[in-house]
Amino acid sequence: MRTCKMNSTVITHYTEYAADGYTKLSGQVKRHSAELWLNGVAQGSQADLITLSEIGTTGCYLASFRATRVGLWHIEILVPANKKWWGEDFECRQSDSDDKVSKGEMFRMRSVFPG
């Protein structure tokens, strides 16, 4: 499970393969459908919350959404070539490890671990 910070944009990627499981399919983004869940409750579909795009014409796609609340987010994308759902989970937190280190703590850590 990946982690993210509240009010950040989450970006993930997936690939669409033809039925042979090897050939990547390009130009399919309009055929994909996506859903977003927060703590097991549906949040909406791709039209209002999720942005899907292809990286060039590679058959590799990006999905992004804004994690607006703390909790467990789940994105699901229906890949039409094989009619299977692809999904990924994200734990959204109020802050991350970078927020928890004050300047004073950073100075002390540099003193102990110079470099």
Binned average pLDDT, 10 residues per bin, the chain of 115 residues: 90 90 90 90 78 93 93 91 87 74 49 49
- Report the number of secondary-structure helices (H) and strands (E) in the chain: 2, 8
**What pLDDT, on a 0 to 100 scale, did the predictor assign at position 102?**
52
Q: What is the pTM of this model?
A: 0.76
The contacts of residue 39 (CB under 8 Å, 6+ apart) are: 71, 72
pLDDT in the model for residue 32: 86
Q: What is the pLDDT of residue 108?
A: 47
Per-residue pLDDT at 71: 95
Provide the Cα torsion 97, 99, 102, 103; round to 10°: 100
**Structural domains for the chain:** 2-112 (2.60.40.10)
Judge residue 111's burial from the number of C-beta atoms within 10 Å of its C-beta, 0-12 exposed, 13-18 middle, 19 or more buried. exposed
Question: What does the CA dihedral 69, 2, 59, 82 come to, rounded to 10 degrees?
Answer: -90
Using DSSP bridges, classify how beta strands 71-79 and 2-5 pair: parallel, antiparallel or unpaired: unpaired
Residue written as tokens 């796609």? 61
pLDDT of residue 99: 57
d(CA 15, CA 9): 20
